[in-house]
Chain A
Amino acid sequence: MAAFLYNFLSFVEWPPSAFLDEGPLLIGVLGANPFGDATRSIEKREVNRRPIRFLFFDRVDALRPTHILFVTPEFADRLKEVRRTLRGQPVLLVGESENFTRSGGMIRFYDIPADRSPSGERQVRIEINEGAARAGGLDIRSKLLRLSDVVNHPVPESDGGADTP
């Protein structure tokens, strides 16, 4: 799952923005780390010759802008609060919970159990709220879009509302 986060770095374009130009690419995790040691192996790789660092947050108000923020289900119902905290920052919000894209999340993973999968194996699918991403100033490449389920839920108003791109 952590590898998916890493792969998103290749298929998502962030707007040119001061805090993102140089230094490591940051992946934030809100809540208890669900990936375990996988984060370490990812931190050994790099994208566009930029190293990758994981940041772990246990409180919403401690959040700092990162390129990707994975919101654990623990914090799923506080997504609104998260978005408010990160307002104006191009952060790719990724989650697992069912209503994640409905409530303003941009990408959601979900499992297709083996008995329902066309390939007969357990499969992880991606659901992308393209509108939310675009609203966040992020451009998701068509290759990623093609293998994902694209939804277009309206982005709920957060306090102060989202900035227009």
Chain B
Amino acid sequence: MRPRSIRSQFTLTIAFTAALAIGAASAVMIARSAWQARAQLIEDLDTLAAVIGNNSSAALSFNDATDAAEVLSSLRDKSIVRMAALYTEDGSVLNIYRRADVADALSERPQPGPAHRADGDVLHLHRPVMIDGKPIGAVYLNADLHPLRAATIRQIAWASLTAIAAILLAIYMAARLQRGMLGQIEQLVRMAHGIAEGNLPPRIAGFSEMQEIAALQHSFNLMVDTSRRIVRQAQSLARGDYAIDITVRSDQDELSHALIKMTESLKAYHEESENRNWIKTRLSELNDRMRGDPELHALLEQVLSSVALAVEASRAAVYLVAPDRSLTPAAGFALPPEASGRSYAWGQGLIGQAAAESRPIWIQTDDTREFTIDAGLCHARPAEIAAIPLLREQQVVAVLALARATPFRPMHREYLQLAAPAIAIAIYSAQARARLNELLEETRRQSRALQEQQAALHRTNLELEERTVLLEKQKQEIHRQNVELEAARLDLERKARELEQASRYKSEFIANVSHELRTPLNSLLILSQLLAENKERTLTPKQVEFARTIHRSGSSLLAIINDILDLSKVEAGHLNISDEPCNLAALLSELEATMRPMIDPEQVDLTCVQEPGTPERIQTDPHRLAQILRNLLSNAIKFTPSGRIELRVRAVPADPHSDAPPMLAFAVRDTGIGIPADQQHAIFEAFRQADGSTSRKFGGTGLGLTISRELARRMGGDIDLESEPGKGSTFTLHIPLRLPSQEEAPVPPISSAVEHVRAEPASRHSGSRSILLIGADDALAAQIGQTADAQGYALVRASTGEDGIRRARLDAFDGILMEVTLSDMTGQELLHRLKLSNATRHIPVQVIGLSEADPEFMREGAVGFLKQPISTDAIEAALRRFAQIADRPVKELLLIEDDIDTARAISNLINDPRVRVHMTPSGHRAIELLDEQPFDCIVADLGLADMSGADLLHCIALHQNGQYTPIIVHTGQTLTREQEARLREFAGSIIIKGEHAPARLLEKIRLFLHLPPLDGARRPEAEPTTHPLDREALRGRRILLVEDDMRSAYSLSAALESAGARVNVFADATRALEALNAGELPDVLLIDVQLPGMNGFELLTQIRAKSTFDRVPIWMLSAHAGPDERARCLDAGARDLLQKPIEVNRLIELIGNGAAAAA
């Protein structure tokens, strides 16, 4: 900001203040008066409006425009009112008044209350007209604001003029005031400016009449005087005159004090700089003397003389610090003879003390007294003695002693203090140099010694190398041994593998040998039996007895072979223990049923007891359990010619001490011959019996117990024996309630409903009905379980197909519900296998599936199909179907066949008391019969006289009444593929009449009628039959036997011939085939599967390929027949596959029936 003169500032301020004050006052006044005028106008107009409203109330009430005009015309005197209007209550204009010069249109709407607003120069005012507090209309006034505004403008003009005049006056007054004062101030300013520039002006002579300015001028004069004095002082100082010529005028005279101090300081500084120069010179002299690495002693001499001369000491000495910290004199300066050579210990004397203190000690002596100090110098009286330690890096190197006749001056002390470290370093360096020289010499000596040692080391190294070579040789030796060891190990492994293989070979060998043994044994058994029967009556009774003995021995031998096979399986660990629930009551009952035929009820009493407290079911392998118990029981029977045999089952609680789980104990007690104590262990060992003579007397191998114990142990239990010779034995089998789990495999989880069903007593023994459910998830199982429970059925569940088949064989179920999809096999496969087995064929099966019923299931013998999701009604219907089948012991079979002989043959073929055969040659009659009663199965010939086959099937389908009755088409026609496809829609099975047709027909009929096997229980297959052979059964039959084993062939042919057949034996397939081609036409073919060259299957296939022989029934024979082989044989056209050893009676029966049916 540019500085402005006081004058202009002054003037501006006054002018501005005056203008502001007057302007503000005027503005407020004008605004107030304008506002008041306006308020007055509005009030006046409002009053006017009220008067007009009051005057026009009647006019408004009666809508009288004339009167209204009259009232409004009174406004003519009010020139300010431009327009006025009266509104009626509904807002329409009653009348309008306009000033003469106004022609505006009325644009205002009436307002509900009093209101006014300015619009430019115009004021609009509304006021309602009230009568009795109620509005009846409104007045509107439109007033001119022009006059109001004109007055305001006039006021503003006046105020402005006044303000300008006031400002001009103020400026004039200010100018006058400034003129006198400012002239003198400007003079002072000029003076000050001169002082600032160093030009001291003359004193002011005439003072101003103004008080403040006069004082200012006086002070200026004083200031000039002082300045002149200071200049003088400075000039004298510059000349080197340090005298002070300054008068202090007051305590506050800082300038004078400062000048005095400055003068003194300059003086002191001058002296000090002279001292310093002296010290510097001396120090540089000292350094010069010490330069050039002199020897220690020379150095000390030089230093001492230099220092002593510098400080004008009368005497001086240096004491060096020895390694033991004693101080010994090393050099002296002007020393008298008596003051020589004494050493001081650390801290001793002044010298020792100075070293210990590590700082100089100064001692001034008193002149007036006789006082000497043993300073090592003399006993004179020096004025001051100094002992100065020489320090290098805080270490005392030496002590310098000085004596002076007069006290040391400060600059001496300073010099000594500055010189001390330099001297110390010089002394130390000299000492170090001396030591270094010594060390160098030492090093040289050591170097020589080292060279000698190196030579010795080299020799040692050579020796070490020799030893390493030796070690390497030994290492190689060890490696070689390792290789040999590895080879030996590999050899061992190979041998172990060979051993393992040998063991496997052994097992295979045993299996093969067993088969090889069985085949000759087979013929032995058959022939001996034939002999024993003595049909030709050519043998003496003794010979007959011989034959019987042969037969008995053969049977024993067969049992032994079976046992050995079992044992070899157990020992090889190939035995699988299954884990499944086992119904104890059922097991015992079956066991009893099996064993009872073996005893003579008059001699032996057999009882089975299940003690209370035993669980209904246990979790174990039921087959193995049954096997063990059978073994124990048959043992007991064997050794108990008369007496009692008891099987008692009881629960053994868990033993907390031995950690044993809860067990079941099966005690088999007999009153037989007993076992001596010393033999009791031996009987469990393989091939041992209590007495060597026992086997001769009772037969058997003794392997049974060994196998049983092995099995028991595998099931987590064991067999104990208590016995007393002559009184009897008790074998007790302990097995845990659940198998000691390999992986604690639990029973598949089931819902409570199913659990409840399971808890029911076993179906067969409580007389209620039971259903087997194969597959199905828990929810479905629960649903079926509930319904079945309500209908009085027990539901047994099998999760897999295999499990289902096993259970179906074990228990007699009234029906099987199976799911189409199973975890381990397809539904078709399961159904097929159920229907293939004699044990399960008769159980009606219904299939549960997601899709529509698959006719394939019906052809396979299913009786119904449940589509998921399954309603309770559907389950009930399924159960009713099972009940229907079970409740009709006699099955109704409708046979539609117009050839009476064929019909009779079929009827004979069935020949079952449980089947009632209805025969009719007429299709129409068949339909009538269907309407009269339900049938379980229909066998239909297609070539009827009165109806075509297709029509018949169609009609049958129409007359089924919603039931599915299986139809077997039994026809002599050869069908085309299309025909067959059409028939398949209706028929469960199609059988073309031929040689092997009767057997298949019978099989299918049994399948569809759900007939259990006639003889009920399964018969042990190896049991030798003692029925006499029927001589006439096969009279005249030609039998062709293909069998390579001549012993088998001979025994079989002998048996068959004794039944009246003519048997032609061929040893291999090729010859047999040749004979057949050559015109041989047998009634029956028997073919061994295992033939040399062309095997039995191939032969069978080739024979079936010839039309000549498609009517000839063929049976296949095999020593080891699996279900696969059997199926294969059946597929290839065989009647059946017979397991060796062949039961002759059964074979004869089969051949007899089959040939008859074929005829």
Contacts and interface: CB of A to CB of B under 8 A. Distances in A.
Interface of A: 4, 7, 10-11, 47-48, 118-119, 124, 126, 141, 143-144, 146-147
A110 to B, nearest CB: 13
B58 A146 contact: yes
Given A47-B132, A48-B132, A7 B61 contact: yes
A147 B64 contact: yes
Nearest to B131: A10
B62 A4 contact: yes
Given A10-B61, A124-B62, A147-B62, 11 more contacts: A7-B62, A11-B61, A48-B132, A119-B65, A141-B58, A143-B55, A143-B58, A143-B59, A144-B61, A146-B58, A147-B59
A119 B58 CA distance: 18
A10 B133 CA distance: 11
A5 to B, nearest CB: 11
B131 A147 contact: no
Residue among B58, B63, B65 with most chain A CB within 10 A = B58
Nearest to A9: B132
Interface in B132-160: 132
Nearest to B63: A124
A144 B61 CA distance: 9
A49 B737 CA distance: 108
A7 B67 CA distance: 16
B671 interface: no
B132 A147 contact: no
7 contacts: A47-B132, A119-B66, A126-B62, A143-B57, A146-B58, A146-B67, A147-B59
Contacts of B61: 7, 10-11, 144
Contacts of A144: 58, 61-62
Nearest to B61: A7
B66 A10 contact: no
B409 to A, nearest CB: 131
Nearest to A126: B62
A135 to B, nearest CB: 22
Contacts of B58: 11, 141, 143-144, 146-147
A141 B55 CA distance: 12
Contacts of A48: 132
Contacts of B65: 119
Contact of A10 (B63, B67, B132): B132
A118 B66 contact: yes
A54 B895 CA distance: 114
Contacts of B59: 143, 147
A118 B95 CA distance: 14
A129 B63 CA distance: 20
Contacts of B132: 10, 47-48
Contacts of A141: 58
Interface string B61-96: 111111100000000000000000000000000000
Residue among A47, A124, A143 with most chain B CB within 10 A = A143
A136 B1074 CA distance: 165
Contacts of A4: 62
Contacts of A126: 62
Interface in B716-742: none
Interface string B1073-1109: 0000000000000000000000000000000000000
B1066 to A, nearest CB: 135
A48 B55 CA distance: 20
A124 B132 CA distance: 24
Residue among A118, A141, A147 with most chain B CB within 10 A = A147
B57 A147 contact: no
A7 B59 CA distance: 11
A37 B67 CA distance: 29
Nearest to B58: A143
A47 B62 CA distance: 16
A155 B67 CA distance: 28
A126 B64 CA distance: 10
Contacts of B55: 143
A141 B131 CA distance: 13
Nearest to A143: B58
A106 to B, nearest CB: 15
Q: A-B pairs with the 7 shortest C-beta distances?
A: A143-B58, A147-B67, A7-B61, A147-B64, A144-B58, A10-B131, A147-B58
A42 B619 CA distance: 107
Nearest to B71: A146
Contacts of B131: 10
Contacts of B57: 143
A7 B64 CA distance: 13
A10 B132 CA distance: 8
A140 to B, nearest CB: 10
Interface in B439-485: none
A11 B57 CA distance: 10
B139 to A, nearest CB: 15
A124 B66 CA distance: 12
Contacts of B64: 147
Contacts of B66: 118-119, 147
B128 to A, nearest CB: 16
B94 to A, nearest CB: 11
A62 B1075 CA distance: 153
Nearest to A121: B65
B129 to A, nearest CB: 12
A8 B841 CA distance: 122
Interface in B27-66: 55, 57-59, 61-66
Nearest to A141: B58
A12 B528 CA distance: 160
Nearest to B69: A119
A141 B62 CA distance: 13
A34 B739 CA distance: 118
B133 to A, nearest CB: 9
Nearest to B65: A119
B90 to A, nearest CB: 11
Nearest to A10: B131
A95 B580 CA distance: 123
A4 B64 CA distance: 12
A17 B790 CA distance: 103
A10 B129 CA distance: 14
B107 to A, nearest CB: 22
B888 to A, nearest CB: 99
A123 B61 CA distance: 14
Interface string B649-687: 000000000000000000000000000000000000000
Contacts of A7: 61-62
A126 B58 CA distance: 12
